[in-house]
Structure 1
Amino acid sequence: MLKYSGQIRLLVAVDCIILGFDGEGYKILLIQRGFAPEKKKWSLMGGFVQPQESVDEAASRILGELTGLKSVYLEQLHTFGAPGRDPVERTIAVAYFALIDIQKYEKQLSKEYHAEWFPLKEMPELIFDHSQMVEMAKNRLRYKAALHPILFELLPEKFTLPQLQALYEGLYDTTFDKRNFNRKLLSTGLFVKQKDKDKDSSKKGAFFFKLDQGKYLNNFQAFLKFIPNPEKFLVP
C-alpha cells in the first residue's frame, strides 16, 4: 500500500454535544467514560472514526449507538487539534452538536454507557477539552437561533407558547415580554393552533400549537426576529 513517507499517523475522533429541552430548561446528555485515562469521569459521547467511514458517518453512528436515533439535527461544530488534548495519543477531535426532543427519545438511551441528562447550567466537570466544546456549541446555537427557527428541533410535536418562550429565554439567559414575544411568534405564520390545551401548568391551561412543517422548511432561512438586538449574537 502506497503511503506518505516520513509522516506520523494521527487518530481522528468525533465528540457529540447532545442537547435537549425538558419544557423548562436546557439539558446535556453525558456519559461516564469507561476506560483510562479519566475512567468514570463525565464525558461527551465520542469515538474514533473508522477507516471505512467519513467523519459525518462516524458522528451519526456514535449518536445512534447512544440514543437509537437516526434522524436528528446534527451539525459539525469545530475541529479541536491541540497537541496535548488527549494524554494517550495525538488525537484530532471533530465536534458535533445534536438537538433532541427529550420526551420522545429518553427511553431509547443505551444503558451500556451510563448516560445521564444534566441541566446545562449544572454540568459537571468534563474530561479533556470537552467543556470548551460545549461552550462553543452554546455560542453557535445562540447565533443560529437568532437567524433561523432551529430551536424547534428540541420541541415535541405539540407545544405551548410559554414553553417556546422558555426555550428562547433559556438559551439567551434573558426575559422577554410575553405579549410582544407571542405577537412576533404568531406573525411568522409558522404555527397552527390546536383545539386542546396543556392543563398541567395552570387551571386555565395554554393552547397547544404545532409547527407548519411546509412553511418551516420553506422559510428556514428567514430571519424571525424573536430575539431583541439579535446583532449581538451574530458572530459565528
Structure 2
Amino acid sequence: MIFTVRQDQLQVLLVERGNEPYRGSAALPGGFVRDGETLDEAALRELLEETALDGRRLHLEQLHAYSDPERDPRGRVITVAYLALGSDLPFPAAGTDAARAYWTPISSALDGGMALAFDHAAILRDGLERARSQLEHTTVAAAFCPEPFTVGDLRRIYEAVWGFKLDPSNFRRKMTRAEGFLEPTGERRFPEVGRPAALYRRGSASLLIPPLLRSSEIPPLSNDQSSMGVRIV
C-alpha cells in the first residue's frame, strides 16, 4: 500500500491487473518473492517493476501477514503486506504484469463501488488504520510533507488521513510544543492573502511526545447532529 496526499485527499496507488486471476480488476501492487531475496528487497523490486516508484524515497514498513488458505484461487499463498508513505508522489507508470497504475482517493477504493482483487480491500483497511494510528504516536506525518512546510501544511495532512477537520490554533500549539517534531528554518512563506507562515523541516524525533490522539481531537456532536444520527468515522 502506497499512500500519498494529493489535492488534500489521502490517495492510494492501485494497479489494474494484467494477468489472471482477477485480470482487469483493481489491486494493490505486489508479486512473489524470488529465491535469495529478503522481504524488503522483494517489496522494493515489485514497487519499482509495477509502478516505477523508488521505494527508497518512501517511509516503508511491514504491516501484517495474511494467510487465509482461500485468499488466492491459485493455491496457498501467504502475503506479507507493506505500508509506504510519501509526499506528493508523481503519477506512476505501470510495468510488467500491471496493465496500468493510478492514484485514487482511498474513500473511493473502500466505499464499496470498487471491487478489489483477492482480499486487498481488507488489507487496505488495515493499512489505513495503521497510518491513522501512526499519526497519533509518531512523527511520520512529516513524510507526507515536502520540505520546508508550514504547520498549516502539516494540519492538512492530519485532516486528510484522519478524515475530519482540526482546530488550527489547538493543532499549532500542540505541534510546536511536541519534542523534536518540528525544526524551524527561520524562513517564512508569504501567501497572496493572509499572514506570513513560519517554515519548518522535520526534526530528529521519531515518536510524537505527547501523542496527538484522534479521540481528543474529534469535536463533540451537537444536539441537532445527535438527533440526526450523524457520526464521524
TM-score using structure 1 length: 0.79
**TM-align CA RMSD:** 2.3
**Equivalent in the alignment of 2:60:** 74
> Is 1:53 the counterpart of 2:37 in the alignment?
yes
1:63 matched to 2:51: no
Residue 175 (structure 1) aligned with residue 165 (structure 2): yes
Cα displacement (A) at 1:125: 2.3
Which has the larger share of strand?
1
Letter in 2 for 1:41: S
SS in 1 for 2:72: coil
In structure 2, what residue type is equivalent to 1:39? R
Name 2:90's counterpart in structure 1. 106
1:5 matched to which residue of 2? none
Q: Are the equivalent residues in 2 in contact too, given 1:84–1:90 (CA < 8 A)?
A: yes
- 1:174 Cα deviation after fit: 2.6
| 2:17 aligned residue (33, 37, 48) | 33
Distance in structure 2 (CA, Å) of the matches to 1:170 and 1:225: 18
Displacement of 1:193: 4.7
Structure 1 position 85 matched with structure 2 position 66: no
- 2: CA distance between counterparts of 1:33 and 1:83? 21
> CA separation of 1:46/1:163 partners in 2, compared to 1, >3 Å: closer, same or farther?
same
The AA in structure 2 aligned to 1:191 is E
Q: How does 1:1-236 map to 2 (within 5 A)?
A: 17-22=1-6, 24-65=8-49, 66=51, 67-102=53-88, 105-107=89-91, 109-112=92-95, 113=98, 114-123=100-109, 124-188=114-178, 190-193=182-185, 195-197=187-189, 199=191, 203-204=193-194, 207=197, 209-212=199-202, 216-217=203-204, 219-227=205-213, 229=215
Residue 193 to residue 128, structure 1, CA distance change in 2 (3 Å): same
Contact (CA 8 Å) 2:138, 2:211: kept in 1 or not?
A: no
Which runs of no fewer than 5 residues in structure 2 stay unpaired? Answer: 219-233
Output the CA distance in 2 between the equivalents of 1:208 and 1:69. 30
With a CA cutoff of 8 Å and minimum separation of 6, indicate the structure with the bigger relative contact order: 1
Amino acid at match of 2:176: L
1:19-59 Cα distance to aligned partner (Å, 9 max, x none): 00125110000010010111111110000000110112111
Check whether the contact 1:148–1:224 (CA below 8 A) recurs between aligned residues.
no
**TM, length-normalised to structure 2:** 0.80
User: Is the deviation greater in 185-194 or in 56-65?
Assistant: 185-194
- Which secondary structure does the structure 2 equivalent of 1:28 belong to? strand
Q: 1:161 to 1:110 in 2, by over 3 A?
A: same
- d(CA) in 2 for partners of 1:195 and 1:159? 10
Distance apart, 1:150 and its partner CA: 1.0
- AA of the residue aligned to 2:197: F
